């Protein structure tokens, strides 16, 4: 008998084992839901899949009576816009600072302790400050995402830069590169795919900050909707919304992964 650590799992078996937890979770939910609904047909806590499907269809196709908007799309668009702005701004700042801190000792000595300290501040604790400074509009939500993920991205890139082999730095200099040329042609292109990797890891945090900010002050957005309908215990809206958000997260992750493959065929993570 082989040791457990040496077991080899065939593809079909791996597929079966992989899908099993999903099936179990769905079956358990359906059983619990049916159980509660049989006792009280008006139960709101565990709505049947059919109810959730109907509600989702309504949210995605019918105009809201009061605002005339189709809520799911309005919410999705608002949230994705904030997310894209926050992540985009963070990536730009991180690229500039991460490269500078990683490659130039003078700036590293000057700014590294500061970024380390900033990254220790819990971003959520700053949310009230942001609301006071930037008001309750779009800016503070975007800024929260930026504050939340930029320090991590900077530190990540900085350490990726310092992981470039010494041989490369020497080689570039013997080819006549000055510091600027070296960063432009050697460091920057090698950091882009690593930035995308870092973004994939920080998307979870970005969603967290987005939903938190929307929950507190907003008029549309996925996070706003969930927290709004909580008052009516509308689980038939909340659960599909959560699933939708998760799906968006998975899609964005896969898009970034494909982007790396397409744009940087030379890049092979260790």
Q: Is 269 an interacting residue with respect to another protein (CB under 8 A)?
A: no
Rounded CA-CA distance 51/56 in Å is: 9
Rounded CA-CA distance 226/87 in Å is: 22
Neighbours of 227 (CB within 10 A): 17
How near is the Cβ of 97 to another protein at its closest, in Å?
A: 21
- Could you say which DSSP state residue 70 is in? -
How near is the Cβ of 106 to another protein at its closest, in Å?
A: 15
Q: Which is nearer to another protein, 12 or 176 (CB)?
A: 176
Binding residues for another protein restricted to 156-185, rule: CB under 8 A: 165, 167-168, 170-178, 181, 184-185
Q: Is the dihedral of CA 230, 235, 239, 240 positive or negative?
A: negative
Q: Which is nearer to another protein, 22 or 180 (CB)?
A: 180
Q: Which is nearer to another protein, 67 or 178 (CB)?
A: 178
- Map residues 50-89 to x or -, x wherever contact with another protein holds by CB under 8 A: ----------------------------------------
How near is the Cβ of 238 to another protein at its closest, in Å?
A: 45
Helix extents (H) in the chain: 11-39, 49-61, 71-103, 105-120, 123-134, 138-162, 166-174, 179-182, 188-216, 222-229, 235-263
As given in the structure block, the two tokens for residue 118 are 């900033």
How near is the Cβ of 82 to another protein at its closest, in Å?
A: 33
**Any idea which residue has 């600027």 for tokens?**
180
- Map residues 206-245 to x or -, x wherever contact with another protein holds by CB under 8 A: ----------------------------------------
- Could you say which DSSP state residue 137 is in? S
How near is the Cβ of 263 to another protein at its closest, in Å?
A: 11
How near is the Cβ of 168 to another protein at its closest, in Å?
A: 6
Contacts with 131 (C-beta within 8 Å, 6 or more apart), sequence order: 140, 216, 217
**Any idea which residue has 């801190």 for tokens?**
101
176 by DSSP, 3-state: which? Answer: coil
- Map residues 180-199 to x or -, x wherever contact with another protein holds by CB under 8 A: -x--xxx--xx---------
Angle, CA of 178, 181 and 183, to the nearest 5°: 105
Q: Which is nearer to another protein, 22 or 266 (CB)?
A: 266
Rounded CA-CA distance 169/103 in Å is: 10
Rounded CA-CA distance 131/143 in Å is: 10
Q: Which is nearer to another protein, 227 or 267 (CB)?
A: 267
220 by DSSP, 3-state: which? Answer: coil
Binding range to another protein, per CB under 8 A, among 110-118, 138-146, 194-202, 261-269? 261-269
Q: Is 266 an interacting residue with respect to another protein (CB under 8 A)?
A: yes
How near is the Cβ of 193 to another protein at its closest, in Å?
A: 9
User: Which residues contribute to the site for another protein (CB under 8 A)?
Assistant: 165, 167-168, 170-178, 181, 184-186, 189-190, 264-268
């Amino acid at each position: 008998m082989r040791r457990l650590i040496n077991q080899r799992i065939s593809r079909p078996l791996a597929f079966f084992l992989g899908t099993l937890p999903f099936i179990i979770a769905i079956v358990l939910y359906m059983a619990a839901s049916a159980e509660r609904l049989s006792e009280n047909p008006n139960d709101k806590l565990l709505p049947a899949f059919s109810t959730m499907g109907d509600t989702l269809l309504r949210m995605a196709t019918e105009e809201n009576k009061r605002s005339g908007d189709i809520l799911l799309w309005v919410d999705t668009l608002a949230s994705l816009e904030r997310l894209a702005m926050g992540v985009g701004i963070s990536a730009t700042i991180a690229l500039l600072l991460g490269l500078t801190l990683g490659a130039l000792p003078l700036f590293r000595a000057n700014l590294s302790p500061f970024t380390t300290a900033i990254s220790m501040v819990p971003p959520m604790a700053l949310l009230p400050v942001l609301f006071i400074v930037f008001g309750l509009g779009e800016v503070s939500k975007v800024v929260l995402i930026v504050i939340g993920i930029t320090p991590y991205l900077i530190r990540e890139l900085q350490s990726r830069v310092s992981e470039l082999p010494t041989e490369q730095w020497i080689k570039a200099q013997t080819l006549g590169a000055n510091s600027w040329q070296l960063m432009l042609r050697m460091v920057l292109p090698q950091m882009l795919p690593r930035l995308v990797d870092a973004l994939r890891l920080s998307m979870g945090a970005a969603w967290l900050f987005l939903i938190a900010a929307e929950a507190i002050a907003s008029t549309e957005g996925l996070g706003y909707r969930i927290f709004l309908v909580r008052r009516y215990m509308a689980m038939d809206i909340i659960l599909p919304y959560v699933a939708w958000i998760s799906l968006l997260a998975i899609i964005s992750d896969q898009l970034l992964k494909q982007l790396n493959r397409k744009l940087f065929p030379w890049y092979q993570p260790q």
